[in-house]
Chain A
């Protein structure tokens, strides 16, 4: 009894946090992991029993004669998701860094206003915002009709329902997650360091390369992870802007839980997404530890 009391005493401070993490995070994840090892119920849901069929399904399929054959279909989707997410991270960085840099160089009043503007899109539903991109990108949309009326093109270019449209949608949705951490690290950057750099025979670009980038690295890494994680499991942008043609993991999971009626396989796919995210986080943690002594700010 005394032991339990001791433990309670020691950990009672973190009890609320532990409880909320346990209830809202660990239990759902646990359910997904457990479901992924169960047997699908044809009407949805799961039946009790242990099976590795869902994980086998990631790589193999049964042909007409019930032979197990290698099936790259799902792997393709996984790699496409990874690829599109990485492209989105790079694009978000290219768009987000200059924006963050610009904001960080303004005076406090303007900074706060600009940061507020960055968050404005969050006030509107993501679905509606993504739909409006359809109006811009479709064959009779804003871009094509403008280009055609200017005589630059004769026929509409296919913009919608491409991988490019998905990347555009993801970058549009998640670029604030890139901007904010980079801004946070640039805001603390001492402008006088840039002057010191210029003074020591560095051009503006050299100053960016040797001082600004290294000191913004923690922000860049944090932003990249924050964009990568939701991108890999994204559902709305691939569905609406990719037209379901270029299936990504998020859509696939949704499909398994709805019309596919294969909850264990959907759960297994979710576990794959989580594993990818976990690997990304571990790499970041490793880097952070390695660079820990270098990063002062």
Chain B
């Protein structure tokens, strides 16, 4: 039974810790525990310095583990050097060998594993075709564009058919259009090869659009692990809510409860609502999290609305952000789609009524 369970888990990290010696020592990873499933597209997401790259480098074997253990498909690899680990890395800056042709680069891993030259080159050629660079084998890396080099780096890492592919911000050096094209490309490659991908990025859009699951990290700790919609809709804490997408945060006190809803009083006396949540009673202090796109402009005939005045407008193309003053020092960001002619729904200085579905409210105990 337990063996079957183990096979579905690609990577298990138990209390992984990394401290760089120095004065004072730098704690890059406090204590990370996670399980990455076989054939999963798993993303480590966080701002720079959050420990995501350190975690990736620990899995690759480039850094020694200070404490904890790392298990790959049931084998403890905590102390194995990188050349023994059946994982390959796609580096942020490609790191193609400049003195080797593209084909030699892609065949390199296989050659080191002892594959015969002809066979290695044949597989390398197939890999190049997989990333649409079949005709580029004889070129040198410096003759390729950044996007092409990135795809060669992918082919090179995939060629030895690793059990896990590690990707260290592979798209960050590409321009926007190329980045978007590479996202679906990566997703396709992961589907076609069936290899477990561990992807490191600071770009939430990348993470949300590609991942099966995401681990949000900050200051050397994993804040939350979940599917993209779990992370976005039900952030575990204020950091996650703030880092992924935009959010309004309000400190509030539970005012009254009714049959269906809990009413919260925010600064300035206005009331926000959420569905009944077990364990929350009148008088509790909480933090309310509200996504700007889940707030609607309504007319004044609707009951239970928030009142405010438009203080700022930012036109973003497909949407417009409105900053609404609820009271002297309390604002609410509202995002509305632009329809037809793109005329703003409300103008600066205008009084507006806002409606919020209680189900859109996320409540954190303060």
Q: Do A and B come from one complex?
A: yes
Interface positions of A (Cβ within 8 A of B): 190, 192-193, 195-203, 206, 210-211, 214-215, 293-297
Asked whether B91 is an interface residue with its Cβ less than 8 Å from the other chain, the reply is yes
Cβ-defined contact, A201 with B93, below 8 A: no
Asked whether B82 is an interface residue with its Cβ less than 8 Å from the other chain, the reply is yes
Query: A296 vs B89: C-alpha distance in the bound complex, in angstroms?
Result: 23
CB distance from A106 to the nearest CB of B (A): 15
CB distance from A202 to the nearest CB of B (A): 5
Q: Which of B40-48, B106-114, B299-307 contacts A (4 or more CB under 8 A)?
A: B106-114
What residues of B have a CB within 8 angstroms of the CB of A214 in the complex? 99
Cβ-defined contact, A192 with B156, below 8 A: no
Can you name 23 A-B pairs with beta carbons within 8 Å?
Answer: A190-B93, A190-B95, A193-B95, A193-B97, A195-B62, A196-B96, A197-B108, A198-B62, A199-B83, A200-B83, A200-B112, A200-B156, A200-B157, A201-B83, A201-B109, A201-B113, A201-B160, A215-B99, A293-B140, A295-B99, A296-B98, A296-B141, A297-B98
Query: A28 vs B292: C-alpha distance in the bound complex, in angstroms?
Result: 84
Please name the residue on chain A nearest to B107 by beta carbon: A200
CB distance from B322 to the nearest CB of A (A): 46
Query: Told that A195-B91, A197-B97, A200-B83 touch, could you supply 16 new A-B pairs with CB distance under 8 A?
Result: A190-B93, A195-B82, A196-B89, A196-B95, A196-B97, A198-B83, A199-B87, A199-B89, A200-B108, A200-B109, A201-B109, A201-B112, A210-B97, A295-B99, A296-B99, A296-B140
Query: A193 vs B142: C-alpha distance in the bound complex, in angstroms?
Result: 14
Query: A198 vs B160: C-alpha distance in the bound complex, in angstroms?
Result: 13
Please name the residue on chain A nearest to B83 by beta carbon: A201
Asked whether B214 is an interface residue with its Cβ less than 8 Å from the other chain, the reply is no
Asked whether B88 is an interface residue with its Cβ less than 8 Å from the other chain, the reply is yes
Query: A214 vs B87: C-alpha distance in the bound complex, in angstroms?
Result: 25
Cβ-defined contact, B88 with A200, below 8 A: yes
Interface positions of B (Cβ within 8 A of A): 60-62, 81-83, 87-89, 91, 93, 95-99, 108-109, 112-113, 140-142, 156-157, 160
CB distance from A153 to the nearest CB of B (A): 42
Cβ-defined contact, A215 with B98, below 8 A: yes
Cβ-defined contact, A296 with B93, below 8 A: no
- How many pairs of A and B residues are in contact by the CB < 8 Å rule? 69
What residues of A have a CB within 8 angstroms of the CB of B82 in the complex? 195, 198-199
Cβ-defined contact, B91 with A294, below 8 A: no
Query: A297 vs B97: C-alpha distance in the bound complex, in angstroms?
Result: 11
Partner of A196, one of B61, B91, B140, B142: B91
CB distance from B12 to the nearest CB of A (A): 21
What residues of A have a CB within 8 angstroms of the CB of B156 in the complex? 200
7 closest residue pairs by CB, A with B:
A200-B109, A296-B98, A196-B95, A201-B112, A198-B82, A192-B95, A214-B99
Query: A210 vs B160: C-alpha distance in the bound complex, in angstroms?
Result: 17
Query: A210 vs B156: C-alpha distance in the bound complex, in angstroms?
Result: 16
Query: A206 vs B88: C-alpha distance in the bound complex, in angstroms?
Result: 17
What residues of B have a CB within 8 angstroms of the CB of A295 in the complex? 99
Partner of B99, one of A195, A201, A206, A294: A294
CB distance from B93 to the nearest CB of A (A): 7
What residues of B have a CB within 8 angstroms of the CB of A297 in the complex? 98
Query: A201 vs B93: C-alpha distance in the bound complex, in angstroms?
Result: 19
Query: A258 vs B115: C-alpha distance in the bound complex, in angstroms?
Result: 65
Query: A195 vs B53: C-alpha distance in the bound complex, in angstroms?
Result: 14
What residues of B have a CB within 8 angstroms of the CB of A210 in the complex? 97, 108
Partner of B112, one of A195, A206, A293, A294: A206
Please name the residue on chain A nearest to B99 by beta carbon: A214
CB distance from B127 to the nearest CB of A (A): 13
